[in-house]
Structure 1
Amino acid sequence: MLLENKTAVIYGGGGSIGGAMATAFAGEGAQVFLAGRTPEKLETVADKIRAAGGQAETAVVDALDASAVNDHIDAVMAKAGSVDVSINLITNEGLFQPLADISTPGFVGAVSKGLTTQLITTKAAARHMVKQESGVLLFFGGSDHANTSPGLGNVQVGMDAVESLRRQWAVELAPHGIRTVTLLTGGVIDTFPDIPEMEAAKRGIIDASPLKRAATMADVGNVAAFVVSDKGRSIASTQINISFGACYG
């Protein structure tokens, strides 16, 4: 199995993308630690993993609370003996409006929240990974400078900011054997609500791909599992495009 004897910490592990990654990691032998603010969602993912024979633990952790994040990662380290993978899937609050219609405090607050959680969780994991001289920090969303469209508000700006943060981590942590990788996505349509209002958005994502396809949650999990495994060890300090060619990065 790709991730046997590996430990993965997933912030936002109760969400659809977090759950997909956790399920794929556990299926490849990893012990997964799911962290988030909603215990019911975390336990739903963990129960599914356990039912399939995998290892999963949950913890209620507010990623905006540095003390709570550090206490949790220290507990993971004490129990598992290593922190091999850390992923933060907590995104900015999406304000899908023209920039002129978004209040300045609203815009700044939403982007700041996403950056703050990324900084806190990455610092916590890096503290242990530097001592190990190994580890993978996986990010999700990515920066696609070639494709922009009106009405995205703070969404792409926030992703660009996180990707810039990831690049800075890369140059600082690579000397310690730590890989930083972003999965660049044009949208995962099976995470969208199944309502008529979302059909145009789903079709737009599919039509943007030369292959006329969109990544599924299973695709996300499978690619993520390979990237963080030792078989993906040459993938570092970069984005991996999982958009079926819709994004250019």
Structure 2
Amino acid sequence: MLLENKTAIIYGGGGTIGGAMARGFAAEGARVFLAGRTPDTLDAVAAQIRDAGGLAETARVDALDEDAVNSWVDSVAGTAGSVDVSVNVISHDALFRPLIEMPVDDFARSLEKIARTFLLTTKAAARHMVKQGSGVILHFGGSDGTNHMPGLGNVQVAFDMVEAMRRQWACELGPHSVRVLSMRSGGVPESFPDTPETAQVRQQLTDATLLKRAATLTDVGRVAAFLASDHAASITSTQVNITAGALVD
């Protein structure tokens, strides 16, 4: 197994993307610790993992609370003996409107939230990974700084900011053998609500791919597990494109 005896922590582990990664990690032998603010969704993912023979634990953690994050990560390290993978996929406050119409306070508050949670969760994991001399910090979303379009408001700006942080973290943590990566999907149709309103968007995502199939949640989990494993030991400070050709490098 790719991740046997590894420990993975996932903020937003009860969501569709976080759950997919958790299942992918567990299927490859990792012990997964799921954090979030909604116990029911966390417990549902953990139950799926356990039913499949995997190891999963949950905790209610506010990823914006520095003391809570540090305490939880320290407890995971104490229980499991290491922190090998850290993923933050908590939901963003998406404000889809032109920047010229954006209330300044709303924009600033949304970006502060994203910057704060990614800095807090990465710092908490990095403290342990630097001591270990190993670890993987994985982001989801990705951006190459060129795929902007009107009306995205804070969404694309947030992705660009997270990618800038990823590059800086990779530079600082690389000498300690800690890898920092992003996954870029271009949109996972399965993660959208299955409603008539989203059906067209889901189809557009698929039609835009070269393979005429968009990334699935299973794809997300499998690629995440590979990137977190020693099989990807030479990959860091980059984003991995799983858009099925929708976004061309």
Structure 1 residues 34-72: Cα deviation after superposition (integer angstroms, max 9, x where no partner): 001111111000011111110000000000000000000
**1:153 corresponds to which residue?**
153
TM-score by length of 2: 0.97
Cα distance, 1:115 vs structure 2: 1.3
8 Å contact kept, 1:84–1:134 = yes
Amino acid across the alignment from 1:75: S
**Structure 1 contact 143–160 (Cα < 8 Å) conserved:** yes
SS of 2:140's equivalent?
Answer: strand
Q: Please, which runs of 5 or more residues in structure 2 have no aligned partner? A: none
How far apart, CA to CA, are the structure 2 residues paired with 1:207 and 1:102?
Answer: 31
* Letter paired with 2:227: V
Distance in 1 separating the partners of 2:153 and 2:201: 16
1:1-249 mapped onto 2 (5 Å cutoff):
1-248=1-248
Residue 222 of structure 1 and its aligned partner are, at CA, apart by 0.5
CA distance in 2, matches of 1:133, 1:205: 40
Q: 1:65 & 1:15 partners in 2: Cα distance?
A: 19
| TM-score normalised by L of structure 1 | 0.97
Q: What is the percentage of aligned positions where both structures have the same residue? A: 60
Name the CA distance, whole Å, in 1 between partners of 2:247 and 2:62.
32
The whole-number CA distance in structure 2 between the counterparts of 1:151 and 1:201 is 16
Secondary structure of 2:105's partner? helix
Counterparts of 1:52 and 1:6 in 2: how far apart (Å)? Answer: 17
* Paired amino acid for 1:109: R
Cα deviation, residue 10, structure 1? 0.3
Q: CA deviation at 1:210?
A: 2.0
Amino acid at match of 2:84: D
Q: 1:215 to 1:122 in 2, by over 3 A?
A: same
8 Å contact 1:146–1:247 — kept in the other structure?
no
Is the contact between residue 90 and residue 114 of structure 1 (CA under 8 Å) also seen in structure 2?
no
Counterpart of 1:5 in 2: which secondary structure? Answer: coil
Partner of 1:214: helix, strand, or coil?
Answer: coil
CA RMSD in angstroms comes to: 1.1
Q: How far is the alpha carbon of 1:128 from its aligned partner?
A: 0.4
Write the distance in 1 (CA, Å) between the matches of 2:82 and 2:63.
Answer: 20
Structure 1 residue 107, shift from structure 2 partner: 1.2
Task: Return closer, same or farther for 1:110/1:155 CA change in 2, 3 Å cut-off.
Answer: same
Distance across 1 between alignment mates of 2:237 and 2:22: 22
- Describe the SS at the equivalent of 2:119: helix
Secondary structure of the corresponding residue to residue 8 of structure 1: strand
Cα-to-partner distance string for 1:177-208 (whole Å, 9 max, x where unaligned): 00001001200111101111112322222232
| Contact 1:146-1:248 at 8 Å conserved across structures | no
Task: Letter of the 1:20 partner, please give it.
Answer: A
Report the number of matched residues. Answer: 249
Distance 1:79 1:234 in 2: 29
Runs of 4+ in 1 over 6 A off after TM superposition: none
